[in-house]
């Protein structure tokens, strides 16, 4: 028996997601981590860094975001993912030019930039909440989030841990382009000091460009991605604390540029791009 599921593929600076509408999409199946893993598989599925389910909001919330990483694990929050969600919400008539979204990392507000001709979301800026360097809140099993050291295969890393509703380990390197992200990222992700595992950002101050940093990221449960919104926020906050940048930061990632504004809370901005819509038969995605 056919079991259809409509999915919308979007990306935000190359960080790509499958988004499904559980409010108006008529979903007749429970989306599980295993289903998300199969759909996100880049060889046997559609392919994405994660799958987002948009469901009804609570109280004053416009909607709720449930995010599965590509490995099927549930993630607390994604800055790029919530901006992709905003595109679908606008198309579905949820919210207006501002969207209130409940996530596993807390409630977030998203300001939308619309194409004047189509009304589609082309960019979005999200209030990501406050960064935390409190080890218990990250969570981190260490007395301090600062000057953490790690060594793997002869490479010595020093960096800071930060929480953006999910955990991050931001390490400063000579050049992210030559950093051993894919080799060492998987090991740093499971550093025993991070009980929930961690995202790992490899950063430097951009040469000859004040107020900018270069970043590559190893995402927990995904692998190296072209961009990471929460990672950009954590990286900017760490770079600011270390005196590398001010409060307005451009984060150069492989998929493009993100803007980060630091203050009592952190605001993340950048483009959103719709790729395609598709309806799949879930009978074809059985493990």
Residue 23 has pLDDT above 90, yes or no: no
Residue 10 confidence class, pLDDT cut points 50, 70, 90: very high
Inside any domain, residue 132: no
Residue 27 has pLDDT above 80, yes or no: no
pLDDT at 26: 58
pLDDT at 24: 79
**55 and 94 inside one domain:** yes
Predicted structure pTM score: 0.92
| H helix or E strand, kind and range, residue 10 | strand 4-12
**88 and 153 inside one domain:** no
Inside any domain, residue 120: yes
Count of domains forming the chain:
2
User: CA 108, CA 106: separation in Å to the nearest integer?
Assistant: 6
**152 and 112 inside one domain:** no
Inside any domain, residue 140: no
Residue 287 has pLDDT above 80, yes or no: no
Inside any domain, residue 135: no
Inside any domain, residue 161: yes
Of 6-15, 17-26, 166-175, 240-249, where does mean pLDDT reach its minimum? 17-26
pLDDT at 31: 85
**89 and 152 inside one domain:** no
User: CA 64, CA 251: separation in Å to the nearest integer?
Assistant: 27
Cis peptide before 139 (omega within 30 of 0): yes
Of 4-18, 20-34, 71-85, 187-201, where does mean pLDDT reach its minimum? 20-34
Inside any domain, residue 231: yes
Inside any domain, residue 137: no
**152 and 259 inside one domain:** yes
User: CA 227, CA 229: separation in Å to the nearest integer?
Assistant: 7
Residue bearing tokens 């992700």: 189
Give the range of the structural domain holding residue 46, as residue numbers without chain letter. Answer: 4-126+272-284
Of 85-94, 122-131, 173-182, 244-253, where does mean pLDDT reach its minimum? 85-94
pLDDT at 239: 98
Residue 41 · residue 73 · CB < 8 Å: no
Question: Where residue 218 sits, what CATH number does that domain have?
Answer: 3.10.310.10
Inside any domain, residue 102: yes
Q: At how many degrees (to 10) do helices 229-241 and 79-91 cross?
A: 140
């Amino acid at each position: 028996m056919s079991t259809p599921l409509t999915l919308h593929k979007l990306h935000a600076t190359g960080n790509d997601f499958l988004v499904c509408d559980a409010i108006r999409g008529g979903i007749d199946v429970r989306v599980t981590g295993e289903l998300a893993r199969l759909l996100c598989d880049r060889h046997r599925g559609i392919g994405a860094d994660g799958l987002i389910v948009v469901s009804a909001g609570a109280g004053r919330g416009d909607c709720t975001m449930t995010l599965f990483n590509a490995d099927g694990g549930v993630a607390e929050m994604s800055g790029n993912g919530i901006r992709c969600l905003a595109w679908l919400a606008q198309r579905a008539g949820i919210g207006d030019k501002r969207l209130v979204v409940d996530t596993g990392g807390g409630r977030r507000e998203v300001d939308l930039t619309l194409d004047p001709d189509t009304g589609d979301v082309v960019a979005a800026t999200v209030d990501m909440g406050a960064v935390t360097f409190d080890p218990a809140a990250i969570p981190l099993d260490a007395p301090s989030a600062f000057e953490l050291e790690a060594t793997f295969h002869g490479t010595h890393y020093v960096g800071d841990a930060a929480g953006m509703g999910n955990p991050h380990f931001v390490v400063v390197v000579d050049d992210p382009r030559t950093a051993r992200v894919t080799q060492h990222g998987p090991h740093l992700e499971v550093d025993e000091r991070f009980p929930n595992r961690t995202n790992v950002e490899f950063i430097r101050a951009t040469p000859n460009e004040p107020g900018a940093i270069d970043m590559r990221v190893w995402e927990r449960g995904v692998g190296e991605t072209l961009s990471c919104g929460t990672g950009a926020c954590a990286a900017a906050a760490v770079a600011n604390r270390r005196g590398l940048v001010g409060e307005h930061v451009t984060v150069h990632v492989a998929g493009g540029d993100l803007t980060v504004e630091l203050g009592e809370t952190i605001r993340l901005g950048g483009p959103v791009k719709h790729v395609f819509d598709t309806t799949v038969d879930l009978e074809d995605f059985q493990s």
